Amino acid sequence: MQKIHAIIFDLYGTLYDVHSVAHACEEAYPGHGTAITHLWRQTQMDYTWLRSLMERYADFETVTGDALRFTCAKLGLPLLPGTARQLCDHYLRLDPHPDTPATLRRLRDAGVPLLIASNGSRHTINQVVSNSGMKWAFDQIVSVDDVEVFKPHRKIYLLAEQRAGHPREHILYVSASGWDASAASLFGFPVCWVNRDGAPFDELGATPAVVVPDLGAMADWMLARR
Amino acid sequence: MQKIHAIIFDLYGTLYDVHSVAHACEEAYPGHGTAITHLWRQTQMDYTWLRSLMERYADFETVTGDALRFTCAKLGLPLLPGTARQLCDHYLRLDPHPDTPATLRRLRDAGVPLLIASNGSRHTINQVVSNSGMKWAFDQIVSVDDVEVFKPHRKIYLLAEQRAGHPREHILYVSASGWDASAASLFGFPVCWVNRDGAPFDELGATPAVVVPDLGAMADWMLARR
């Protein structure tokens, strides 16, 4: 593998814990929190892919609200506008994974430029990052808003490469989603797959360069190679 | 609505019951049949969308096998090559929904040209149709093989319109999948959504022209309008 000059991180599920929304869902709908969180997240991802294929981009906040309405209807739960707003707002105040702050600090201290490339809208990403007090960590934030198509379309990986300012083979792409890691790898980034749950890798014809159990192990691997 | 000159049917879930695979899964993995069937089907659809967005088309049989491998790995179940082949073969021998044969017979007797437009490969669709003894029903079979991108990309709806030989506003598109019905409607077909389970319609910014509980009701509606 070539020398790494920058790292691009996925946001949802990689740096931030999307299931931190579960607690709020359980409070709003006692006994249904887990069911809502999982169907909501699956529907949210499905809608990003479907809208991209239909060439009907809508930003992540819109898709997140649409997915919640479908989820509650599917589960037979009433959804008041106030509850919808309150639950969707949790996607703006996600918790970072416990190993995120310390890992990013180590990488920054080592002088590695850090970027985010996310399916979130610019507004959403900025909110998530600043609400968690992590603005110091990132050199650049790349949103699908600028290409109006969601991952795994290659346009977002290409934009992130251009913003990083290095050829793709010198940029490490870090994601906890197997499908995102697959697409980034097929695009040409060396990829680090963060496999927190011991899951199998997606069967999409790609292989990550390295697999780690958490972000700390990613930094160990990265810094040992410099 | 304009006069209808032809009907295009989706295949999986609309004319044929994809959960007829569940029985074989339960036999191969007692106690896990339902879990396998649902995760397999969701992963199969996800992979068609992901591959389409990645511009890495592989035919439906390949994607179905890939999705089964991922499903079994995710559920911690061993998968022998013989079992994989045997389970995947069930996707070539799906049961039609109970109302499919009689409905298609009524429509044919009324002189309505009938087409299939499916995510299946040409080989897969031909096998499903001929194994169920339904070859008499269809004037044309349109496979995504000819455009190398899966639904809901507009290319497959456009190809089906061209094969039907009528302007889209004169072609009824029938699907039991909310996302497929949404995309077909945004393309410009009048759409009949077959809602067998009383599910909510997907929140993708489209509305079907008509909603029916089964194929028989679709034929009633269609024939009353001629």
A81 and A117: one domain? no
A53 min Cα distance to partner chain B (Å) = 5
Contact present, B24 and B130 (Cβ < 8 Å): no
Cα gap B135→B127, rounded to integer Å: 10
Contact present, A128 and A16 (Cβ < 8 Å): yes
Model pTM score: 0.96
pLDDT exceeds cutoff 90 at B2? no
Closest Cβ opposite residue A74 in set B49, B50, B199: B199
Which CATH number belongs to the domain containing residue B62 in this structure?
A: 1.10.150.240
For chain A, which ranges sit under pLDDT 70? none
pLDDT exceeds cutoff 90 at B225? no
Residue B1 lies in a domain: no
B101 min Cα distance to partner chain A (Å) = 29
Specify which residues A143 forms β-bridges with: A118
Contact B53 A199 (CB under 8 A): no
Residue A1 lies in a domain: no
Contact B70 A200 (CB under 8 A): yes
The encoded tokens of residue A49 equal 């892919």
Render pLDDT for A98-109 as a digit per residue (tens, 0 to 9): 999 999 999 999
Contact A152 B73 (CB under 8 A): no
Closest Cβ opposite residue A53 in set B47, B69, B153: B153
Closest chain B CA to residue A199:
B74
Residue B62 lies in a domain: yes
The SS3 assignment for A74 reads helix
Residue B35 lies in a domain: yes
A217 and A160: one domain? yes
Compute chain B's Rg from CA coordinates.
Answer: 17
Contact A74 B200 (CB under 8 A): yes
Give me the amino acid identity at A214.
D
- Read out DSSP for B103-150? HHHHHHHTT--EEEEESS-HHHHHHHHHHTT-GGG-SEEEEGGGTTS-
Cα gap B85→B91, rounded to integer Å: 10
Closest chain B CA to residue A184:
B54
E strand map for chain A? 6-9, 16-17, 95-96, 114-118, 140-143, 171-175, 191-194, 210-212
Which residues lie below 8 Å from residue A68, measured CB to CB, with a gap of 6+? A40, A79, A84, A87, A88
Closest chain A CA to residue B57:
A204
Which CATH number belongs to the domain containing residue B120 in this structure?
A: 3.40.50.1000
Closest chain B CA to residue A51:
B204
B196 and B117: one domain? yes
Cα gap A204→A177, rounded to integer Å: 12
B41 and B140: one domain? no
The encoded tokens of residue B77 equal 């179940």
A45 and A86: one domain? yes
Cα gap A203→B47, rounded to integer Å: 8
B98 and B201: one domain? yes
Task: Please provide the average confidence, as pLDDT, over all residues in chain B.
Answer: 96
Render pLDDT for B106-133 as a digit per residue (tens, 0 to 9): 999 999 999 999 999 999 999 999 999 9
B123 and B179: one domain? yes
- Find chain B residues with C-beta within 8 A of A199's C-beta: 74
B86 and B121: one domain? no
B176 and B214: one domain? yes
Closest Cβ opposite residue B74 in set A47, A151, A199: A199
Catalytic residue among B10, B59, B99, B180: B10
Contact B56 A205 (CB under 8 A): yes
A72 and A110: one domain? no
> Tell me, what's the pLDDT at A35?
95
Whether cis (ω within 30° of 0) applies to the bond prior to B98 is no
Contact present, A152 and B52 (Cβ < 8 Å): no
A111 and A190: one domain? yes
> Tell me, what's the pLDDT at A193?
98
Residue A170 lies in a domain: yes
> Tell me, what's the pLDDT at B194?
98
B126 and B204: one domain? yes
Q: Which of B68, B90, B112 is the last residue of a domain?
A: B90
Cα gap A37→A162, rounded to integer Å: 35
Domain extent at residue B99: 6-16+94-224
Render pLDDT for B149-199 as a digit per residue (tens, 0 to 9): 999 999 999 999 999 999 999 999 999 999 999 999 999 999 999 999 999
Chain A, chain B: beta-carbon pairs less than 8 Å apart: 92
Residue A136 lies in a domain: yes
Q: Which of A43, A63, A90 is the last residue of a domain?
A: A90
Q: Which of A90, A109, A124 is the last residue of a domain?
A: A90
Residue A177 lies in a domain: yes
- Find chain A residues with C-beta within 8 A of B182's C-beta: 50, 54
Domain count, chain A: 2
